[in-house]
Amino acid sequence: MSTRSKSSQSATNLAIFGAAGLAFCGVLVETSMNVTFPTLMRQFHAPLDTVQWVTTAYLLAVAATMVIAAFTQRRFQWRTIINVGGTGFVLGGLLCATAPNLGILLTGRIIQAIGTGFSLPLVFAQIMTQIPFEQQGKYTGTAGMLIALAPSLGPTYGGLVTQLLSWRLIFWITLPIGLIAWLVTAKHIHHPHKPVAIAFPWGQFLLIVAALSLMTLGFNNAGTKGFSAVNCWLPLLLAGIALISFLMSAAKSSQPLINISIFKNGAFNQALAIYFLIQFIQIGLAFLLPNFTQLALGKNALISGLMLLAGSLTSAVLSPFTGKFMDRVGIVVPLRLGTGFLLLATLSFALLAKQLSIPIIIGLYLVYQIGFSLMFNNTLAYGLQQLSPARLGDGNAAFNTLQQYSGSLGTALMAALLATGAKLLPQAATVTQTTLGTQLALWLCFGLICLVTLIAWLIKPEKQN
């Protein structure tokens, strides 16, 4: 390789992993705040229904921003996009760290979420356009390792900082790291094509934001107010109407927000479904298991967060190797191996729900994360490989939006099932109620993994575009 080629490859690597570092910081602060709710309720004199928007609003803002990733990557220079993302992360983080009231904190969270939503899709856009096909699995696994690790580390990091110091340090610590990652990316990022002057489809954007918001509202209401027609099912019905309206509008548009022709590709849809479902369960378990540990086993927040650390670190270490594994043997073998680990973990969780202990949870979560590392980033790489270069931005937007949104739905549904345990056994002790709710949630996880297994075993690699 020539000196110029080596220099170009080095710049590309710095741009990719700089963007991954910024995205990691954004996703880390996303989940770190979950363990601070009791502290925020006391400090700002607000009820839980209000404080939970610290996380819910963040997830919605990230998802809504990622929806427009395909448009922004066609319309603007990538350096401009990362500068907007970095500015949003830093400005939002400063507002959060110094917030005198809950309103300012929520504003800072939304601004920081928009920054994350702009920066995260650029990680995989660069990989799929600037890295040779035979190395894409390795790069996706390595860069994805950082981003996938953040949600699981969040509760541990947030609990440790909050318990020993102050929740505001969650932002002060990540700000300089994110700032450095932003500046490195901005210096080295390269746009592979000229921006195209196209109008922004406001109608489609408002419809998809309405669908995401109403669906989140419906599941959040299920957890706090029950599965009633008005509080739960009406928002979900309206979300479905908004989603169908968006798809119809995008299908007729000459400049759609997301080109829905990508969903005509069966292999892409299979990969997207697997990606969404295993992330849904992973984030759901990261919420469910710490809450079970505190409410049923009587442990504190720090121990509950640290309990998941072994599995998270194992997934992080394995991800680059599982990516190389896919590059060498294709997608089928990693997927089928991965589903074996996921089936074993979720079935064991469900069967042992009444006997769960810290060691059992650590062991089974570790097994789940091994299967997760074999499948998660590999399905992203495989799914995008099924699309033509012109449709990569649309596919990337779909994957990244669902990655973030699955966390919101997973958390909301697990919370609703935990609450169902109390409704089914209103006279029972909290430990009994929590155990029943946890058992219901774990059987749901097993059922969804059975669906994942079916999809994975139906996948047959197609000729790459």
Specify whether the CB–CB gap between 218 and 232 falls below 8 A: yes
Distance of CA 195 to the CA centre of its chain: 28
Residue 230: pLDDT over 90: no
Residue listed under structure tokens 């479904």? 273
Q: Can you give the pLDDT at residue 464? A: 44
Q: Do domains 1-198 and 259-465 have the same CATH topology?
A: yes
If one compares 92 and 424, the residue with the highest pLDDT of the two is 92
417 to 30, 157, 436: CA distances (angstroms): 22, 26, 9
Specify whether the CB–CB gap between 301 and 35 falls below 8 A: yes
Predicted confidence band of residue 152 (pLDDT cuts 50, 70, 90):
low
| Helices vs strands, H then E, count in the chain | 18, 0
* Mean pLDDT score of the chain: 83
Q: Can you give the pLDDT at residue 339? A: 94
- Alpha-carbon dihedral of residues 204, 209, 212, 215, nearest 10 degrees? -100
The rounded distance, in Å, linking the Cα atoms of 147 and 355 is: 32
Residue listed under structure tokens 């022709």? 261
Q: Dump pLDDT digits (tens) for 355-368.
A: 888 999 999 999 99
Q: Dump pLDDT digits (tens) for 265-288.
A: 888 999 999 999 998 898 788 778
| Residue 187: both structure tokens together | 């210096």
CA-closest candidate to residue 377, choices 329, 335, 339, 328 = 335
Average pLDDT estimate for 231-255:
86
Minimum mean pLDDT range among 7-11, 88-92, 246-250: 7-11
Q: Can you give the pLDDT at residue 257? A: 78
Residue 210: pLDDT over 50: yes
Average pLDDT estimate for 158-184:
88
CB neighbour class for 284 (10 Å; exposed up to 12, middle 13-18, buried from 19)? buried
User: What CATH class has 259-465?
Assistant: mainly alpha
241 to 58, 245, 409, 442: CA distances (angstroms): 24, 6, 18, 30
**CA geometry: angle at 159 spanning 154 and 165, to 5°?**
120
Average pLDDT estimate for 128-137:
73
Q: Can you give the pLDDT at residue 389? A: 79
| Residue 57: both structure tokens together | 């609003």
CATH fold for domain 1-198:
Growth Hormone; Chain: A; (1.20.1250)
* Contacts for 56 with CB less than 8 Å, ≥ 6 apart: 216, 220, 408
CA-closest candidate to residue 101, choices 34, 148, 45 = 45
Specify whether the CB–CB gap between 402 and 380 falls below 8 A: no
Q: Dump pLDDT digits (tens) for 183-195.
A: 998 888 877 677 7
Predicted confidence band of residue 172 (pLDDT cuts 50, 70, 90):
very high
Minimum mean pLDDT range among 21-25, 173-177, 397-401: 397-401
Helix (H, G, I), strand (E, B) or coil at 133: helix
The most confident of 68-82, 171-185, 204-218, by mean pLDDT? 171-185
Average pLDDT estimate for 63-92:
86
Specify whether the CB–CB gap between 287 and 34 falls below 8 A: yes
Q: Can you give the pLDDT at residue 465? A: 42
Domain spans in the chain, listed from the N-terminal domain onward: 1-198, 210-254, 259-465
Specify whether the CB–CB gap between 170 and 158 falls below 8 A: yes
Residue 203: pLDDT over 60: yes
Q: Can you give the pLDDT at residue 59? A: 78
Q: Dump pLDDT digits (tens) for 306-354.
A: 787 788 788 777 877 887 888 888 888 999 999 999 999 999 999 998 8
Residue 98: pLDDT over 90: yes
Q: Can you give the pLDDT at residue 146? A: 73
